[in-house]
Amino acid sequence: MPRPSSHDDEEGPDLTPPAEDYELYRHKDAGNMATRNWHGYYWARRTEKGDYEIRTVASSLGEPSALGGVFPKKGFEEHYEKVDP
């Protein structure tokens, strides 16, 4: 599994799923991006139409996951890959 960015809190991102049906995804190029405090992770689950409903992955323990909206299947799968928590 990819390591959290050096910009994250010492504990790293909270990889506890917000619900049973969410799976963890990471941006395919997250390790090469210099975006401060962004680890590249999202929780995602498929919608009835096949797109992805996404939620944020908190940067540290104790922060809540927030709804991020619906991402079209093609674009999501082009930029994100499923990873194990």
pLDDT truncated to tens, each residue of the chain (85 aa)? 444 444 444 567 888 899 889 999 999 998 887 777 678 899 999 999 999 999 999 877 677 889 999 999 999 999 999 999 8
Using a 10 angstrom Cβ sphere, with 0-12 exposed, 13-18 middle and 19 or more buried, the burial of residue 60 is middle
- Does 17 fall in a domain? no
For residues 3 and 13, give the distance between their C-alpha atoms in angstroms, rounded to a whole number.
Answer: 10
pTM of the full predicted structure?
Answer: 0.77
For residues 19 and 28, give the distance between their C-alpha atoms in angstroms, rounded to a whole number.
Answer: 23
For residues 65 and 18, give the distance between their C-alpha atoms in angstroms, rounded to a whole number.
Answer: 7
- Does 15 fall in a domain? no
- Does 35 fall in a domain? yes
Number of domains in the chain: 1
- Does 6 fall in a domain? no
